Amino acid sequence: MDPEIVSSNHRAGLILLAGFLASFVFIRFSTRMMRNPKYPWWPGSIKTEGIHIHHLVFGIILMIVVGFVQFTFEPGSPWLEILAALFGIGVGLTVDEFALWLYLDDVYWTEEGRASVDAGVLCALLGGLVILGFVPSYDDNPVVIVLIVLEQLVWASIIIAKGKVRLAVIGLFVPIVGQISAIRLARPNSWWARRFYDPETPKGARKLAKATARAEKWDARRQRWLDVIGGRPHLVRETGGGEDDGDA
């Protein structure tokens, strides 16, 4: 492959990631400003005829337009980089409302809304790993390829059974992370814990207690970071419908 093409594509990937991070951070900052009564001058949500237009709508439209232009014309530099930046911005606007896709409800400022921050962090991490070259590489031998894929699936299955889906995804890109995650204790509410950490036996009770303490410590640390990145939830999700709190 032409080194110039590789360099151009890599540059576009970096710009896409930068556009994603910039739009995700900006829209999070913007929504936090909207709900702060100290800043009444900050632009609020967009509404028309009683319909609240969520910012993921603009993200989806932007990705559709950029996708059609890119696949139709396949422009070179500098348009490739410009389109990459616009696509990254669209991804950021859309992923920031991942919880809306998941719950089909406006849960932006509820506990369930933390899923959007989780998704944003995971997307940024995986995008960075791909750009840095942490991608699965396989031998040309079909047998070797099948064996490697099966091995990765086994590790990923164990990690998911232990209730660590995020680490299972990361482990596909960084195998050592997956292997370490697979041999560590499971989360206390996971299938693995229910199957192998029997609280009626001394050994199972010790493992369950240790897993619970570790999970509580990890969750508390994770929630502090999510509050810093995305803001602290202040609403409770209502059954049958969420509360619209002006999340732009």
Task: List pLDDT tens digits, range 76-93.
Answer: 888 999 999 999 999 999
Hey, CA dihedral for 179, 183, 184, 189, is it positive or negative? Answer: positive
Domain that includes residue 106, residue range: 1-110+233-248
pLDDT surpasses 50 at 248: no
Task: Establish if 78 belongs to a structural domain.
Answer: yes
Q: Rounded to an integer, what distance in angstroms lies between the CA atom of residue 142 and that of residue 103?
A: 41
As a whole number, mean pLDDT of residues 188-210 equals 95
Counting residues of the chain whose pLDDT is more than 90, the rounded percentage is 59
> What number of CA atoms fall less than 13 Å from residue 79's CA on the CB side?
10
Q: Check: CB of residue 27 under 8 Å from CB of residue 17.
A: no
Whether residue 77 is contained in a domain is answered as yes
**Domain annotation covers residue 1:** yes
Query: Is 47 contained in some domain?
Result: yes
How big is the chain, counted in residues? 248
- The whole-number pLDDT of residue 212 equals 96
**Nearest by Cα to 82 from 60, 97, 65:** 65
Q: Dump pLDDT digits (tens) for 16-35.
A: 999 999 999 999 999 888 88
Q: Is residue 40 part of a domain?
A: yes
Please count the structural domains in the chain.
1
Record the tokens describing residue 205, joined without a space: 């009770």
Question: Which neighbouring-strand residues pair with 53?
Answer: 46
pLDDT band at 191 (very low <50, low <70, confident <90, very high): very high
Which residue type occupies 129? L
pLDDT of residue 148: 83
pLDDT value of residue 186 = 96
Q: What is the mean pLDDT of residues 106-131?
A: 91
Q: How much of the chain is helix, strand and coil, in % rounded to 5? A: 70, 5, 30
Q: Is the N-terminal amide bond of 43 cis, ω within 30° of 0?
A: no
11, part of any domain: yes
DSSP designation for 77: T
Quote the CA–CA distance of 52 and 90 in Å, as a whole number. Answer: 18
Q: Does the pLDDT of residue 2 top 90, yes or no?
A: no
Residue 6's pLDDT band, with cuts at 50, 70 and 90, is low
- 153 closest CA partner among 180, 182, 125, 130: 182
Q: What pLDDT is stored for residue 229 in this prediction?
A: 86
Contact 109, 247 (CB under 8 A): yes
Angle between helices 175-183 and 142-161 in degrees, nearest 10:
40
For residue 9, name the pLDDT band (cuts at 50, 70, 90). confident
162 and 189 Cβ atoms separated by less than 8 Å: no
Asked if residue 154 belongs to a domain, the reply is no
The three-class DSSP label of residue 228 is helix
The two structure tokens encoding residue 146: 């099948």
Can you give the pLDDT at residue 45? 72
* pTM summary value: 0.80
Who wins on pLDDT, 138 or 100? 100
**Does the structure show a pLDDT above 80 at 246?**
no
Closest residue by Cα to residue 14 from 169, 118, 125, 132: 132
In a domain, 121, yes or no: no
* Distances 105 to 208, 235, 243 between C-alpha atoms, Å: 34, 13, 8
Residue 51 in this model has a pLDDT that exceeds 90: no
Q: Identify the pLDDT of residue 61.
A: 97
The mean pLDDT value of the chain amounts to 87
